[in-house]
Amino acid sequence: MDSHPRYLILRPENGGIMDLFTNALFGADFTRFLGHSQITSFVDHRWVIFVSIFIRKFITFIAKPMDWTGRFLEFFLNLLSLNGYFFGLLLNLTRGKLVIPLRGSQTFMSTIGHLDRRVDLKFITQGDFQPQLGNRALMDLCIMSSKLAYENPKFIQNIVTTRWNMHFVHFYDCWNDFQKQMSTQVFILCDKAKDANLILISFRGTEPFDADDWCTDFDYSWYEFPNVGKIHIGFLEALGLGNRDQPSTFYSILQREDTELLDSTNGVNLAANYSSQSNSESLLSGIDSDEDQSFTYNKTPQKQTAYDVVRSKLRSLLEEHKDAKFIVTGHSLGGALAILFPTVLVVHKEMEIMERLLGVYTFGQPRIGNRQLGRFMEPHLDRPVPKYFRVVYCNDIVPRLPYDDKTFLYKHFGECLYYNSHYVEKDVKEAPNRNFFGMRFILSQYLNAVWELIRGLTMGYAEGAEYKEGWFRMLVRIIGLALPGFSAHCTTDYVNSIRLGKKSSPHMSSI
């Protein structure tokens, strides 16, 4: 097997903004910004690299203000909601009964939650839930779980147990070794505590004010695994499958077929943390040995990685619930991790687990790899029936990232369920305007943003009270007049697409 896999790693921090523009204007090859690369030809598409590096540098520059803004906005929105909004807040202030939001409590809601305050399921009633691919009940459970993943553990547990009458298993805050922080969140539920029919895994997506999340979405770095394909490096790191500072760690981790699973009784896998002292040669030297010499196992759950801990818990749940199948879901970045998780299960030859896969539903998911990766996964996701569905709403910018061109070759795979701004599902191989910035789509994007604003103002009257959009969502609609692709990425329109979808198809049967 090739001991020198191909990869491309863009490092915006390796130069200043003037270096970036100098490279672009004078036809340089951006070598300064390539932390590691086995690729030498970028002549045809230098501007794609320029855009990626420029956007990530800008996001990094405003990272602190973004974080402060997000924290203040979340506190302010919760302060308003807990005190009965503007007039209630004034009244409570005068009475001395002001309710102060407590971050991390079961009443503290995220910014995503305030954009769309719906938490109840639409179609599932009490009693045995029989999960069936394609019906609205399962799709509604997936989009609501994807939305719920943005909340804190106590909030999630409260909704799952008291509003959905399901069994909350666990919430995991997982380690990203490149970012050196707990930046990946995922929770697991079962439809019931005993003899469950369904196990659901929901990954948290891109948080609106998290600069690291947005930098990951706009990152074009990839690593190519022999016989598998190119995979987005940022998503691999989010699952805990390597570190771009040592590119060979991706190869080492992905070649493990039987990673140690620890202490499944309490659902905590003490993740494999590779030593930062190992150099590339020592990592590669252990690939073909019987024992993996390239990793030091850290016996502390504080640095558990998402892939290992979820796989460990999933295995124990499948053993406990003999008839259960599992489904993986997520919105935005969470959608990318949702499809990457079973992909790595296949790479690790976890076929007993994969046989219990019911399906994967993602919403507003970015691309995770190239066409070869899609071909590699087809036998496991398309046969005998399709199991992987990508839901894309209208002009959402995130499913159009990373860029699909001759240099980067990012391609979607799986079944695409595309909804236009009237919530009509269309059968398409790929969403229109696949790279978003096509000139012939600009006018329609802005006209559509105007229509979405008008529609938002009238939804409560046309479809019922549960579809009424609050002042905060309408504010984002107004911002969407300037940035239509970002406004369209909100979970509101994905929930509405599933609940109001006007076209019946084999992938969306009625209840």
| Helices within 118-247 (DSSP H only) | 136-148, 153-158, 211-217, 233-239
| CA dist., res. 289 & res. 305, Å (int) | 24
Q: Residue 396 catalytic?
A: yes
As a whole number of angstroms, the distance between CA 331 and CA 253 comes to 26
Task: Retrieve residue 371's tokens.
Answer: 């066409």
Residue of 114, 321, 412, 489 with catalytic role: 489
Which has the closest alpha carbon to 173: 160, 161, 187? 187
221 catalytic? Reply is no
SS3 content of the chain, % helix, strand, coil (to 5): 45, 15, 40
What is the strand order of the sheet 425-428 is part of? 167-176, 181-190, 198-203, 325-331, 357-363, 388-393, 415-419, 425-428
Name the active-site residue from 177, 191, 217, 396: 396
Distance CA 93, CA 290 (A): 68
d(CA 166, CA 185): 20
Q: Examine the residue annotation and report whether 29 is marked as an active-site residue of this protein.
A: no
What distance in Å separates the CA atoms of residue 191 and residue 310, rounded to the nearest whole number? 17
Which amino acid makes up residue 446? Answer: Y
Q: What is the dihedral of CA 86, 92, 97, 100, to 10 degrees?
A: 10
Options 37, 252, 312, 332, the catalytic residue: 332
The per-residue DSSP string of 433-479 comes to STTS--GGGHHHHHHHHHHHHHHHHHHHHHH-GGG---HHHHHHHHH
Q: Which residues are catalytic?
A: 332, 396, 489
